[in-house]
Every structure is written in C-alpha cells, then in structure tokens.
Amino acid sequence: MSAQELTMDDYSDLVREDPGCVPHEKETAFHFNKERKDVSIYSGIGSIMRGLIENKNIEVERVNVLNDDGDVTPVELSEVNPEEHSIVGVHAMAPIGILKIQKNERKHDTFSSVIARY
C-alpha cells in the first residue's frame, strides 16, 4: 500500500511508542501565544498520537518515524512508508478553540481521554 492510499486510520495503526525512550521522555506538549489563533501540539504518547491523527479538527504537520534501522526521523505524513516506518511522534496544529482547561477533573484520568476522536 503506497502512502497516497493510506487513510488516517491506517496512519493511526502505525503508531508505536519509541522503544528508545524511557517513560519520562514520552511527553505531550501544547504551545500557543497571543499572536496566533492556533495551538502547536507534540506528543510521543501512543494514545494521544492516535487521537491527534484521528481528530478531524487537528492538522498533522509532520511525524517522527522509527526506521527499520532504529533511527528516528521527522517526515511529512505523506512520506510514511507502512512497510518501513512506525510513527513514534506527532507534530500537529489545531484551532485554539478546541483547547480547554476545565474547572473540574474529567471522570477518567487516562491519556487516551485527553484528545477527542471524531
């Protein structure tokens, strides 16, 4: 299957956490400023990476891929080769309006509930 034929679900299926990172190195970061109306998001946590890829309001800018030889390289999503790559990091942009720090805690404190999938 070529990269042009891959769906977002196919890309999501390629997500793996980087085996070369220890747990405290697998992180998610949100960055925004007053000049822009969007938020930059990076994640190396599996469930959040899948959520970023699957959410239609979030634009994946590039991904970090783990090659067969163990090297991690940033590439455009269209450059991912499912026969050679695993996705171990996602760099994305989203409208600032989708980000909200709530007054109360969510019912579930799992990483997978941080990013809505739709």
pLDDT in tens, 24-49: 999 999 999 989 899 999 999 999 99
Structure tokens at 118: 């739709």
pTM of the model: 0.85
Distance between CA atoms of residues 85 and 56, nearest Å = 23
Q: What is the DSSP string of 72-117?
A: EEEE-GGG--TTT-EEEEEEEEEEGGG----SS--S---GGGSS--
94 vs 103, higher pLDDT: 94
Query: What pLDDT score was predicted for residue 115?
Result: 61
